[in-house]
């Protein structure tokens, strides 16, 4: 067992709010599952020792923090600092049809709405998801009314500034034919642990444009997840960007709960020296006629480790499913590691599915050719090896985000060493 | 301009250059001929700074710079240009983007303003026409799917755009028919301005009918064993490199 997990359980047992039934369920699961062994498939390549024995060192959040800007985006920002929501929701002026409530709401009707989503979309198998279920008191519930399209993006920020455990939750309920752009963004580099989980119910014919920028680095540990349930004819377009840190892990679940839904998920990870990033995605095609396209592409630097596990599960009744999954990697050094495992599990016979994974290295000859023409090494590396990442950036629907991401990622890549 | 003194170089522990010396003054054209395995291509790689080639002894100066102390890209910025025998194909990077990046890197080093896309396009189109490549070659991936002759012309186009001070042409004639050879040679000749120097590495004399050298050197076993004027190339053409063996033997005996 883990000293840290015991602490979590003790602490959760003292929480007696309207979410207590869900917390109890999670605790039961946690006690049953226990701390994962290194053989546990979900944690085979990512060691959890640093969390197992963790004692958070700070007793309060630091006062200094900066909200990272994305030029031209002008989002509604909802800011968590070390797990505390610091945005005053009552100060926000929101358009008609958009409702944002805190998890700590005292309104019985709001509490009921939260309860209908909390721990309902996210599967119970995620260890840290259960921890979050048990302990999370800071979170946001966002609802868009039927037929309403919200133009202004909403951004939920998780900033880690002190050595604390932060547990936050985002719940999004899109009613039929509504539309929303939502960005989950997290960063921090000093020792800390953030568990940030989000659950999305995308109603019939509703559309969600989703981003998750998991930009924690250094000693900041993040273990989180984004979980989606797609009702019929709904659309999800999701882009994940991950840096690596001492421990950085995301779990994504997309469930086709209604027919003719469409999910596109693109993931990019760029890992500098010694970093770890672990992405597990599970797509459940529970009903017929769903479409999923998933691309995960990453560059792994010296002594860095990437783990990608992409599973597509097509249930017996899910005929006429179209599903594609692809993972491409570039290793910059002999000491770079990628553990990639695309998995297709198909129980229906009339489906079209494809999956694949590739791992490439730097092409020395092409690099030399560009250098002999006076092009600087970092620029040459970007020209030669960044194209497959750039393709996914170009596919980002939002122009401001595209223009923010491209230099951010190409600069990070250009600073990485090739050995 | 370029002074190579007693250059020794090896790759993977195998000694290729064994004390090569050469002095190239501004505006001169030096042809280097020699049999296969003499070290002709190695010379270009060592001068350009390719990874894996180790200089064991000797020095190379370009102007007043210690060439061997510079990185590959710095050598290019200082005015060294190597036209490859087998230019690499780079799908995914357009010829245009590549050459613009290259030209602006060199301009920046010279303290000149970068060219705008429109300005560069104008120059690139002219150079493209000069080497008789269709303009759509600017849009294609670098050397991607180009024939042997098209690759050589693409190299000359880069040379025209980069305006280097010393050009090394590594067997730019290999695999070309006479028409293509003429195009490549015309491109090179158009760049002879009395200041720019050339080292023309070739197996055959044929190219030297089109690019008239001031000096011809015979490279064998990693060093220059004989130097002369253009007539030396004709001698090689007539009797091959067989005489080398004899002369070397004679030298040893003497």
Separation CA A368–CA B49 (nearest Å): 9
**Predicted interface score ipTM higher than 0.85:** yes
A interface toward B at CB cutoff 8 Å?
364-366, 368-377, 379-380, 383-384, 387
Q: Does pLDDT of B245 surpass 80?
A: no
The verdict on pTM exceeding 0.90 is: no
Go through chain A and tell me how many residues it has: 419
Cross-chain Cβ contact B73/A377 below 8 Å: yes
For chain A, 419 residues long, give each residue's pLDDT as a single digit of tens: 789 999 999 999 889 999 999 999 999 999 999 999 888 999 999 999 889 989 877 777 777 889 999 999 999 999 999 999 999 999 999 999 999 999 999 999 999 999 999 999 999 999 999 999 999 999 999 999 999 999 999 999 999 999 999 999 999 999 999 999 999 999 999 999 999 999 999 999 999 999 999 999 999 999 999 999 999 999 999 999 999 999 999 999 999 999 999 999 999 999 999 999 999 999 999 999 999 999 999 999 999 999 999 999 999 999 999 999 999 999 999 999 999 999 999 999 999 999 999 999 888 999 999 999 999 998 999 999 998 999 999 999 999 999 999 999 999 998 888 87
Strand ranges for B149-196 from DSSP E = 166-170
Question: Cα angle vertex A51, ends A50, A56, to 5°?
Answer: 100
Interface test with B, best of A370, A373, A380 (most B CBs within 10 A): A373
Domains of chain B, earliest start first: 2-253 (3.40.50.300)
Residue ranges per structural domain of chain A: 75-365
Spatial neighbors of A197 by CB under 8 A, at least 6 apart, are A122, A126, A128, A129, A132, A136, A168, A169, A170, A224, A225, A226, A227
Backbone phi, then psi, for B215, in 5-degree steps? -135, 150
User: Measured between CB atoms, which of B87, B99, B106 is closest to A369?
Assistant: B87
Nearest chain A Cα to B73, which residue? A374
Contacts of B99 in chain A (CB under 8 A): 373
Residue A10, burial from CB neighbour count under 10 angstroms (0-12, 13-18, 19+): exposed
The total of other beta-carbon atoms located within 10 Å of residue B92's CB is 16
Band (pLDDT 50/70/90 cuts) for residue B251 is very low
Nearest chain B Cα to A374, which residue? B73
C-alpha distance from B102 to closest chain A C-alpha (Å): 5
What is the tens place of the pLDDT at every residue in B57-74? 999 999 999 999 999 999
Interface test with A, best of B85, B105, B108, B169 (most A CBs within 10 A): B105
Backbone phi, then psi, for A138, in 5-degree steps? -115, 115
Report pLDDT for B250.
47
Spatial neighbors of A402 by CB under 8 A, at least 6 apart, are A393, A394, A396
Closest CA to A81 of A102, A60, A101, A56: A60
Closest CA to A271 of A228, A217, A234, A221: A217
What is the tens place of the pLDDT at every residue in B187-226? 899 999 999 999 999 988 889 999 999 999 999 999 999 9
Q: Do A250 and A214 form a contact (C-beta atoms < 8 A)?
A: yes
Band (pLDDT 50/70/90 cuts) for residue B252 is very low
Report pLDDT for B248.
53
Averaged pLDDT, B109-113: 95
Cross-chain Cβ contact A384/B93 below 8 Å: yes
């Amino acid at each position: 067992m883990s000293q840290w997990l015991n602490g979590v359980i003790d602490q959760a047992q003292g929480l007696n709010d309207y979410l207590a039934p869900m917390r109890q369920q999670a605790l039961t699961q946690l006690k049953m599952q226990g701390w994962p062994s290194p053989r546990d498939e979900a944690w085979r390549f990512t060691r959890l020792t640093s969390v197992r024995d963790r004692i958070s060192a700070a007793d309060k959040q630091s006062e200094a923090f900066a909200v990272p800007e994305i030029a031209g985006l002008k989002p509604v920002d909802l800011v968590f600092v070390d797990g505390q929501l610091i945005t005053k929701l009552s100060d926000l002026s929101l358009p008609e049809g958009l409702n944002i409530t805190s998890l700590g709401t005292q309104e019985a009707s709001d509490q009921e709405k939260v309860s209908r989503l909390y721990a309902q979309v996210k599967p119970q198998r995620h260890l840290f998801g259960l921890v979050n279920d048990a302990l999370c008191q800071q979170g946001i519930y966002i609802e868009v009314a039927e037929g309403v399209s919200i133009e202004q993006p909403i951004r939920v920020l998780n900033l880690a500034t002190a050595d604390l455990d932060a547990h936050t939750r985002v719940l999004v309920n899109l009613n039929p034919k509504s539309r929303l752009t939502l960005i989950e963004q997290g960063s921090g580099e000093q020792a800390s642990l953030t568990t940030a989980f989000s659950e999305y119910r995308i109603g019939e014919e509703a559309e969600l444009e989703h981003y998750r920028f998991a930009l924690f680095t250094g000693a900041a540990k993040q273990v989180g997840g984004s979980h989606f349930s797609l009702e019929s004819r709904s659309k999800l377009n999701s882009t994940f960007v991950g840096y690596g840190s001492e421990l950085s892990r995301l779990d994504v679940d997309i469930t086709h709960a209604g027919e003719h839904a469409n999910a596109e998920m693109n993931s990019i990870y760029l890992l500098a020296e010694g970093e770890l990033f672990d992405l597990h995605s599970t797509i459940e095609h529970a009903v017929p006629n769903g479409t999923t396209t998933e691309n995960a592409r990453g560059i792994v630097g010296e002594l860095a480790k990437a783990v990608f596990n992409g599973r597509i599960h097509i249930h017996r009744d899910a005929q006429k499913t179209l599903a594609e999954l692809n993972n491409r990697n570039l290793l910059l050094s002999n000491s770079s590691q990628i553990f990639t495992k695309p998995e297709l599990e198909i129980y229906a016979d009339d489906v079209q599915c494809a999956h694949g994974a590739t791992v490439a290295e730097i092409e020395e000859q092409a690099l030399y050719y560009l250098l002999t023409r006076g092009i600087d090494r970092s620029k040459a590396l970007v020209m030669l090896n960044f194209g497959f990442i750039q393709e996914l950036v170009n596919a980002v629907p939002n122009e401001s985000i595209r223009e923010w991401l491209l230099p951010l990622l190409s600069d990070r890549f250009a600073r990485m060493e090739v050995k | 301009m370029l002074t190579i003194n007693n250059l020794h170089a090896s790759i993977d522990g195998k000694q290729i250059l064994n004390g090569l010396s050469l002095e190239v003054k501004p505006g001169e054209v030096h042809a280097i001929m020699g049999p296969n395995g003499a070290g002709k291509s190695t010379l270009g790689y060592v001068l350009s700074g390719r990874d894996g080639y180790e200089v064991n002894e000797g020095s190379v100066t370009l102007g007043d710079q210690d060439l061997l102390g510079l990185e590959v890209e710095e050598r290019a910025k200082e005015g060294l240009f190597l036209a490859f025998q087998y230019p690499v194909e780079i799908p995914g990077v357009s010829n245009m983007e590549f050459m613009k990046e290259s030209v602006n890197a060199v301009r920046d080093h010279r303290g000149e303003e970068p060219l705008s896309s429109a300005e560069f396009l104008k120059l690139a189109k002219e150079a493209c026409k000069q080497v008789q490549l269709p303009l759509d070659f600017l849009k294609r991936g670098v050397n991607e799917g180009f024939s042997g002759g098209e690759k050589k012309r693409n190299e000359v186009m880069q040379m025209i755009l980069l305006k280097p001070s010393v050009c090394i042409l590594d067997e730019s004639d290999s695999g070309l028919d006479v028409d293509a050879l003429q195009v490549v040679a015309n491109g090179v000749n158009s760049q002879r301005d009395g200041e720019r120097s050339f080292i023309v590495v070739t197996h055959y004399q044929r190219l030297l009918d089109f690019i008239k050298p001031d000096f011809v050197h015979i490279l064998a076993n990693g060093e220059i064993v004989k130097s002369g004027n253009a007539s030396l190339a004709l001698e090689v053409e007539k009797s091959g490199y067989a005489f080398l063996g004899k002369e070397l033997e004679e030298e040893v005996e003497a």
